[in-house]
Amino acid sequence: MRALTARFGPALFLVAYFFWFAGGGLWAPFTGDDLMNLNFHLTPSFPRLLLSNLTYWTTAYRPMGGIVYAVVYRLAGFHPMPFRVVCFGLLLVNLWLFYRVCLRLTDRREVALLATLLVTYHAWMVNLYYSTGTIYELLCYGFYFAAFDYYLGIRQAGRTLQFRQWVGFLAFYICALNSKELAVTLPLSILCYECIWHRMKNGVRGVAISAFVTLPFVIGKLTGPDRLTANPLYRPAISAARYLHTFHLYLNVLFYQDHFFRDANTILLVVAMFALAVWLRSRPLLFACFFILFSVLPFIFVPHYSGFFLYLPMAGWALYFATGVEMLRERIAKAIPATVVFLVVAVALAPLHARESRKTMQVFTTMALPTAETIAQLERVQPSLPRGATLFFESDPFPPKTFSLVFLVRLFYDDLTVQVARAADGDPSVGGHFDAVFRWDDGKLVKVETR
């Protein structure tokens, strides 16, 4: 019994800890991003969506996430719960993959468990727990660490990757690239690992092959009319000053601070972290330092900020902190069991998570759309429509000049040819034939008789 508790107890604790703070996301309704993404990925045929995942160098928009959206929608229909279950499954799998990578890098179960605790929940990554729109981050994280774990397992066995193993590794990596652009830093992870652990002995091929596979992806995504950088929110402004400024903004988010970190103390922190890693001659600490700095490169230069962008970089901070704490415990407080340290950290973080969660949920809910209410009202008032129907809304609860209502109606009726006109957008109510006219009245959808 004691052996079972020691083996599975920490994992059960981590799962319970995760659901205690994030479990409410299982019942989250569709967000505006969900409606947009579903509509976008359902527009092409499924074979074309599959082909986009094979031709990963094209400007197809994150087609691996599109596969998940399309499959869940076709199997489960237009209901948010199945999407949330898939996302929570990915979140849990990602915790397991991160634990495996930390265990390989440190060869210490105590360090891996503590690091996993640190990434189990973060209040400012609320979108990960309450929006399926972050499916791209979840998939990217999973495939990224699956590829890295696979690579580490082979190299730590004293072997180099052979042809079949390269196929497996690159399959994981390309899936990560097809999920989100954050994955482009994987060759840098391999480079750092090979330099720090093996001094590049037999590691040049791994770095070269992964970089070679990355090159057409980067070129393809940065060129062409549908390139991601055509969107002003993703247009980078590359400079050292921009890197440092954005880095300290994210540091405040990561450590639940308002304006503590600025350029000067951010530089001091990074220098101190590198100095400690070198002084202690700790390979995991040194790797974590480099990972922290390069894992932010895909988003650090763009003007679009979101807390959940830190999902992947947070792994480096967790690895560094957990390694440092365990090294400190062994040097000055070896009598204190690692389990006690683990529990103390969990208890210390809990009130911080709770405090910040109240803030983030308030921000998140103020931006929420009445998707669940509208779906329920459509089900009550107009459960079906002829294909290609035209609808008019005299009033509705959605912001004007947005497409959320249009996407919702098309997804609800599983018909992307439905036409929706809105008075809120200035569309005329006369001069055309409408199959149905609706009005939003005191929280209810009312069907207006047409003449």
Among all chains, which residue has been given the structure tokens 């803030």? 359
pLDDT of residue 3: 63
pLDDT of residue 34: 95
pLDDT of residue 433: 82
Look at the alpha carbons of 14, 19, 22, 28 in this order and tell me if their dihedral is positive or negative.
positive
pLDDT of residue 32: 93
Residues 6+ apart with CB under 8 A from 422: 392, 393, 396, 400, 405
Among all chains, which residue has been given the structure tokens 């929570």? 88
On the CB side of 390, CA atoms within 13 Å amount to: 10
Residues 6+ apart with CB under 8 A from 182: 137, 140, 141, 144, 295, 298, 299, 312
Element containing residue 269 per DSSP (H, E): helix 263-280
Q: In whole angstroms, what is the distance from residue 314 CA to residue 122 CA?
A: 10
Q: In whole angstroms, what is the distance from residue 60 CA to residue 50 CA?
A: 11
pLDDT of residue 73: 97
Task: Give the pLDDT confidence of 268-280 residue by residue, as tens digits.
Answer: 999 999 999 999 9
Running along the chain, 451 residues long, what does each successive block of 10 average in pLDDT? 70 96 95 95 92 90 95 96 97 98 96 97 96 96 98 92 93 96 95 92 86 91 75 82 94 93 95 96 96 95 88 97 94 87 96 95 89 94 92 93 94 95 84 85 85 54
pLDDT of residue 228: 73
In this prediction the pTM is 0.94
Eight-class DSSP state of 385: -
pLDDT of residue 121: 97
pLDDT of residue 22: 96
Q: In whole angstroms, what is the distance from residue 44 CA to residue 34 CA?
A: 17
Q: Report which residue type is found at 145.
A: F
On the CB side of 209, CA atoms within 13 Å amount to: 18
Residue 407 tokens read as 């996407």
SS3 label, residue 441: strand
